[in-house]
Structure 1
C-alpha cells in the first residue's frame, strides 16, 4: 500500500466534507510514513500539516496511566492501596442502592477505592457504555458543575474544589464491581500530583515528555506555537461550528489539568510515546518505566463478567488495561488480539498492533453517534497493514 493510496482513501472523507482536515502516521517498525490532508482553519484556508498541534482529548488517558505507573515503579504508589490516604475527599463514600436510585438512597461502600480501581476504571463512577439513560445522579453531577461531556479545561472548577464536590456524591456501583468510563482518569491525575508533590503537568514534563523529546505536548499551547494550532470544530444540528477557537481554552494554562482529556500533541510526539510503550518502556536508551509496568498497563484487567456487563467495546472484543483499551480477539478487518491504544472524542485515535503503530488526528469532534466514517477507513487500512497483506 503506497502513501498516495492512504492519502487517497482518507482524503476522500475530507473531500466529502465530513471533516475539515486530518494528519496521519503509520509506522511499521522503524519505517515511518505520515500525511496531512485538508484545512486547519476553514475561515483562512490554512492547510493541516504533519506538525500541526491537535487537541487529543481522551488520548491523554494513557499518559496519565504512565505517570501513575512510574510512581508505582518508584514505590511511591501501590496498586492495592486505598486512594483516601492522598485523596481524603474520597473517604467513607456511600454507594447508590441501585444505579437509577435517588442520590439519597444509598448503602455503605464495601471497601475503599484503590489505586488499581482508578487505573482500571473500576472505582464505581463513570459513563456506563451499556446504559446512557438519564438518572438522578446525572442531575446532581450537573448541579455541582463537575463537567460531563467534551473537555472544557478553562471552565472546570479548581481541582481541589472539584474533588471536594465529587466526594459529596454517592458512587454508582461498589468499588471494583463495574468498568465505567473516564472519571477514574481525572482523579488519577490528581492522585499523581499529590503523590509526587508537584502539578501533573510538571511531573509529566519531568518524567515523560522531556525525556521522550515530546516538545509539543502539554495542557496548553504557548503563543509561539499557536500558528500550528487551529480551531476545533463540531457538528451542531447538522452545521459545522467552532467548538474552540485557536486562542480559546487551550491557549493558556488551565487551573484544572485534566488527566483524562486535557492534552494537546502532534503526530511526532505521540509516536515517540507509542514507541516507548512498544519497546518495553524505553526509547533511544532512555528508560521511562519498567518493562513489567508496560506489560501490566497493556494487559486486560477486566473479568469476563465485567466485560459482559459493559466494557470499552460494545461487542466485548476489547478489554481495559491501565488507561488503554486492549484487543481480546482478532477483528476481521481491524486490530488483532493483543493490540492496544485509545481514541479521543474530539477526533483522534492511536494504536500499537504488533510492529505497526498508527495515529490519526483530526480537527473535528465525534458526533453523538460516534466516530466519523474516516476512522473506520483508517482501521481497515491498519488491518491490512498489520496482517502484512499489503505492506507500506
Structure 2
C-alpha cells in the first residue's frame, strides 16, 4: 500500500463538481500497515483543509457500536439474547402487527410471539424500513418517530419516543423479516434502561474510554467545533453540494434522543480503534477484554435466511446481516470479500472490517447519500481496500 493510491481514489470524488464531496478522510489498514489520507476541505468555501482528526457525523456506522454495547450487557448477565424485551421496554409487551404488509395501520392482529433481544440485533423485530416505503405502516416511522436523517433539534426524549413507537404497528411478525434502521434506535433505549444510565454515559464508560475513542459522542463540545465538518446534500438539479448543517448547528449540543441508529460523531482514528477491537475479537489495544471472542463472532456472522437476504437487497445488495452491520456472503462485486462486516452512513460514511484478512477500511465524507445505493466514491474505496 502507498499514500498515492489512496489519495488518487479519494481525490477522484472530491472537489466542486456534481456529486463531489468537499473533502474526505480515508483509512485502509491491513494488519500493522496503515494508510491514511485526508483530501479537500471541511466545507465548500475551502477555508479549512480536511485533516486526519476532522470530525464527522458518522450516521449509521453508529449501529455496530451500539450492537456491541448490547452484547456487553448480555455478557454482564443483564440481558439474554432469547429474552423478551418487555421487562425493559414494557411499551413493546403486547405489540400489534398489520394483517398484511400492505394493510391499513388499523387492520392489525396480535404478535405471534414476544420481541426478543436478538430480534432487535438482527433487525427482525418487525419495525423498520422495507423495500417499499409507501406501505401504510411505514409512514408513521417518518411522521411519528422521525426515522431517517437525524434531526436532534426536533427529537423527543427516549420515554416519549418509546410511547410513540408503541402506537405504531409492526410491519411483520417478530423474526419474520429484516427491516432497516428502527431496531438500532430501540437498542439504544434498551441499553439505557438495562444499564440504568443514559446511553451516552454507558458507551463512554464501556467502549469509548477503554478504546481511546476520545472524539466520539452524540455532540461536539465547544473546544472541538473547529475540527467539525459541515454537512451537505447533493442538489437534485445539478448535483452540487448544498449545506444541510454547519459545524455550529445541530450537533453542537446534546440531543434529547441519543440515536443508536445514527447519532454519533467521530473521527477516522476513533472508528479505527473500534475496528481494531473487532479484529482482535473483543480485546482493546492494552490487552483488556471488553467482549468475548464468541460475542464478536456472533456480531460479525450472517443471521438471515436466503429469503430474508433477498428481500433486504435494496439496502444490503443481497448480502447478509450480523448484529449492527452487513456481512458479505457472496462475491457479487469486486469489493465483496467473504466475511467482510460493516455498514454505510447516510451522511457519506462507511466502515468495514474483514476478520479473515485483518483489514479495516473507513471512509468519512460530508456529502449525504441520496438513497440506499452506495455512491461511486464508496464503491471505488471498497475496491481499493479489497486490493482489486
TMscore range, shorter length: over 0.9
Deviations along 1:32-74, one digit per CA (max 9) or x if unpaired, are 1100011102235211101101110000000100100001111
Q: TM-score, normalised by structure 2?
A: 0.95
2:272 — aligned with what?
A: 271
Q: In the alignment, is the contact (CA less than 8 A) between 1:57 and 1:260 conserved in 2?
A: yes
* Number of positions where the alignment pairs a residue of Structure 1 with one of Structure 2: 381
1:218 — aligned with what?
A: 217
Q: Distance in 2 between matches of 1:307 and 1:12?
A: 32
Change (3 A) 1:374 1:298: same
1:388 — aligned with what?
A: none
How far apart are residue 143 of structure 1 and its match? 4.2
1:185 — aligned with what?
A: 184
Q: Helix, strand or coil: the match of 1:37?
A: strand
Q: Distance in 1 between matches of 2:371 and 2:5?
A: 30
Q: Distance in 2 between matches of 1:315 and 1:261?
A: 20
2:306 — aligned with what?
A: 304
- The correspondence of residues 230-269 of structure 1 with structure 2, limited to 5 A, is 230-238=229-237, 239-269=240-270
Q: Distance in 1 between matches of 2:313 and 2:11?
A: 32
Q: Distance in 1 between matches of 2:135 and 2:342?
A: 30
- The correspondence of residues 1-392 of structure 1 with structure 2, limited to 5 A, is 1-15=1-15, 17=17, 18-43=20-45, 45-128=47-130, 130-132=131-133, 134-144=134-144, 146-238=145-237, 239-284=240-285, 285-311=287-313, 315-316=317-318, 318-353=319-354, 354-368=357-371, 370-384=373-387
Change (3 A) 1:143 1:35: closer
Q: TM-score, normalised by structure 1?
A: 0.94
Deviations along 1:197-253, one digit per CA (max 9) or x if unpaired, are 000100001110000100000000000000100211112323422111111111011
Q: In the alignment, is the contact (CA less than 8 A) between 1:11 and 1:37 conserved in 2?
A: yes
Moved more, 157-166 or 230-239: 230-239
Q: Distance in 1 between matches of 2:49 and 2:269?
A: 18
Q: Helix, strand or coil: the match of 2:272?
A: helix
Moved over 4 A (4+): 311-315
Please give the root-mean-square deviation of Cα atoms over the aligned residues, in Å. Answer: 1.5
Q: In the alignment, is the contact (CA less than 8 A) between 1:313 and 1:319 conserved in 2?
A: no
Q: Distance in 1 between matches of 2:150 and 2:176?
A: 26
